[in-house]
DNA sequence: TGTACATCAGTGAACGCGCGTTCACTGATGTAC
DNA sequence: TGTACATCAGTGAACGCGCGTTCACTGATGTAC
């Protein structure tokens, strides 16, 4: 059957990236094998190294790809609604029961952040860039105090992590509600 | 050389638990092998199953052990200083550069939370209990709104995670400062 | 435009390796008399 | 209290397994003439 065309290789590349961004968030980096990723992308494991030099290489690319997806999601909503409303919508979506339950399409920082931070300087830049991009989305006023978005990001990240640790759905819902109150408080009283 | 006395077995058990609580936080659960733990505890891997039924069993025990350690730390400070002051000291310690850099003795939720949440119902109870215990430590007023401690816990957890993702020390320091401001804000304006 | 040939995307077997777990073994500990 | 024996904490070799990575191979694609 091989060889595929250049266009088809690019489509394969995208499928691998999508699969990795999904599985790394769902099951973690360490618990996801190259073979798992390639199977989900609809191929066998051997072809992987025509696309990436190593699993480490894929981790970095898939993480950035996942961040791109989340940011694009937010920016799509931004064009439709006003800036303030779109940020409120983003917070609501972030602190939702769906986000608690579906890690695979959710926040890459919540899903892979701790694991990424452990690899030391290898992914440091990618991690820091992701934090900056997502915090910027939450900034109340682009002219105002620049750290309110970062504090809000921390609160969202912490809340979803705690909600995912709850052992009942009711407890998770309560955690989300608490997070929503805290976010509003931060938005209203920052400087 | 074997067999050891009962008292010595108990000491071995403690050493395994200490080593696991350290290594799981430092390198993650998946990246830490039973052999690593036993080596750090000063033994060979074979003896492990005289103490725990499986690695999963150890994960739960070590996590709870780590939480016990952190809570004990806090309660020790509580007796010396006043209640309000000791909470402030706890927040300062949590949002310190040392905590960013030394995962192995730090917050078990920040280090293992995401990985623990993934294992589904297996560790759900241990995770939820840890959240409740640590949130209670942060409660401003035991009589007041019960969720302020939970919101504060989320903020601390998120802030340390973001600080660990920063690629320079200065950026981490800035993240910690932002977190401290947000915590004060939450404490002052909650209900 | 048609032909001859080099390229290379994807396959699937194979590699060395470390994992979690098991097991025969050891000899000091704990116990029964 | 002393002796005989069962227990069992810890050792280190061994197990089956899945990992990341390599490689010979295939045959359609892309290219040179």
Query: Which residues in chain A are closer than 8 Å to B159, comparing Cβ atoms?
Result: 151, 154, 158
Nucleic acid strand C within 7 Å of A14 CB: no
Average pLDDT over residues B151-168: 97
- pLDDT tens, residue by residue, A112-124: 999 999 998 888 8
Q: What is the pLDDT of residue B144?
A: 77
Which residue from B114, B167, B178 is facing A110, i.e. has the nearest CB?
B114
Average per-residue pLDDT for chain A: 94
Q: Map chain A to HEC letters.
A: CCCCCHHHHHHHHHHHHHHHHHHHHHHCCCCCCHHHHHHHCCCCHHHHHHCCCCHHHHHHHHHHHHHHHHHHHHHHHHHHCCHHHHHHHHHHHHCCHHHHHCCCCCCHHHHHHHHHHHCHHHCHHHHHHHHHHHHHHCCCCCCCCCCHHHHHHHHHHHHHHHHHHCCCHHHHHHHHHHHHHHHHHHHHHCC
Q: What is the pLDDT of residue B121?
A: 85
Confidence of residue B1 (pLDDT cuts 50, 70, 90): low
C-alpha A89/C-alpha A71 separation (Å) is 13
pLDDT(B79) > 80:
no
Nearest CA in chain B to A31: B30
Query: Which residues in chain A are closer than 8 Å to B110, comparing Cβ atoms?
Result: 114
Instruction: Specify the DSSP class assigned to residue B120.
Output: G
Q: Do B167 and A115 touch (CB under 8 A)?
A: no
Contact present, A137 and A87 (Cβ < 8 Å): yes
Instruction: Specify the DSSP class assigned to residue B143.
Output: T
Q: What is the pLDDT of residue B176?
A: 98
The contacts of residue B41 (CB under 8 Å, 6+ apart) are B12, B15, B16, B18, B19
Q: What is the pLDDT of residue B143?
A: 79
pTM, 2 dp? 0.95
In this prediction, what percent of chain A has a pLDDT beyond 90? 80
Confidence of residue B22 (pLDDT cuts 50, 70, 90): very high
Which residue from B150, B151, B179 is facing A151, i.e. has the nearest CB?
B179
Q: Which nucleotides of D are covered by protein (CB under 7 A)?
A: 7-14, 18-24, 26-30
Token pair, residue A176, equals: 């989300």
Token pair, residue A59, equals: 């981790």
**Other CB atoms closer than 10 Å to residue B11's CB: what's the count?**
12
Q: Do B161 and A125 touch (CB under 8 A)?
A: no
Contact present, A162 and B131 (Cβ < 8 Å): yes
Q: Which residue is nearest to nucleotide D8 (CA to C1')?
A: B3
Q: Do A161 and B31 touch (CB under 8 A)?
A: no
Residue position matching structure tokens 């790394």? A24
Token pair, residue A153, equals: 């990001």
pLDDT(B191) > 70:
yes
Nucleotide closest to residue A38 (CA–C1'): C10
- pLDDT tens, residue by residue, B110-157: 999 999 999 988 888 999 999 999 999 999 887 777 799 999 999 999
pLDDT(A5) > 70:
yes
Query: Which residues in chain A are closer than 8 Å to B116, comparing Cβ atoms?
Result: 165
pLDDT(B3) > 90:
no
The contacts of residue A2 (CB under 8 Å, 6+ apart) are none
Average per-residue pLDDT for chain B: 94
Nearest CA in chain B to A28: B115
Contact present, A38 and A45 (Cβ < 8 Å): yes
C-alpha B59/C-alpha A10 separation (Å) is 41
Nucleotide closest to residue A58 (CA–C1'): D20
The contacts of residue B91 (CB under 8 Å, 6+ apart) are B138, B152, B156, B180, B183
Nucleic acid strand C within 7 Å of A8 CB: yes
- pLDDT tens, residue by residue, A76-112: 877 766 778 888 999 999 999 999 999 999 999 999 9
Smallest CA–CA distance, residue B8 to chain A, in Å, is: 34
Prior bond to B3 cis, omega within 30? yes
Nearest CA in chain B to A164: B117
- Tell me the HSE value of B42 on the side-chain side, using a 13 A CA sphere: 8
- pLDDT tens, residue by residue, A54-83: 999 999 999 999 999 999 988 887 776 677
pLDDT(A191) > 90:
no
C-alpha B104/C-alpha B27 separation (Å) is 8
Nucleic acid strand C within 7 Å of B34 CB: yes
Our measurement of CA B42 to C1' C10, in angstroms, reads: 48
**Regarding predicted confidence, which is higher, B168 or B76?**
B168
**Other CB atoms closer than 10 Å to residue A143's CB: what's the count?**
7
Which residue from A128, A165, A171 is facing B165, i.e. has the nearest CB?
A128
Nearest CA in chain A to B111: A114
In this prediction, what percent of chain A has a pLDDT beyond 70? 98
DSSP-assigned letters across all residues of B42-100:
TS-GGGGGGT-SSHHHHHHHHHHHHHHHHHHHHHHHHHHS-HHHHHHHHHHHHTSHHHH
pLDDT(A1) > 70:
no
**Phi and psi at residue B54, in whole multiples of 5°?**
-165, 170
Nucleic acid strand C within 7 Å of A47 CB: yes
Our measurement of CA A1 to C1' D21, in angstroms, reads: 23
């Amino acid at each position: 059957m091989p060889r595929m065309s250049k266009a088809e290789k690019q489509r394969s590349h995208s499928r691998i990236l999508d699969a990795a961004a999904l599985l790394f968030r769902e099951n973690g980096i360490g618990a996801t094998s190259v073979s798992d990723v390639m199977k989900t992308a609809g191929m066998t494991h051997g072809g992987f190294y025509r696309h990436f030099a190593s699993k480490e290489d894929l981790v970095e690319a898939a993480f950035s790809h996942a961040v791109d997806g989340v940011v694009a999601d937010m920016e799509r909503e931004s064009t439709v609604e006003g800036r303030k409303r779109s940020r409120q919508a983003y917070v609501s979506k972030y602190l939702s029961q769906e986000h608690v339950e579906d890690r695979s399409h959710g926040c890459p920082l919540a899903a892979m952040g701790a694991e990424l931070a452990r690899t030391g300087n290898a992914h440091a830049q990618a991690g820091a860039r992701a934090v900056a991009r997502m915090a910027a989305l939450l900034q109340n006023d682009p002219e105002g105090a620049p750290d309110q978005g970062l504090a809000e990001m921390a609160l969202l990240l912490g809340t979803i992590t705690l909600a995912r640790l709850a052992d009942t759905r009711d407890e998770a819902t309560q955690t989300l509600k608490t997070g929503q109150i805290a976010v509003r408080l931060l938005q209203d009283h920052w400087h």
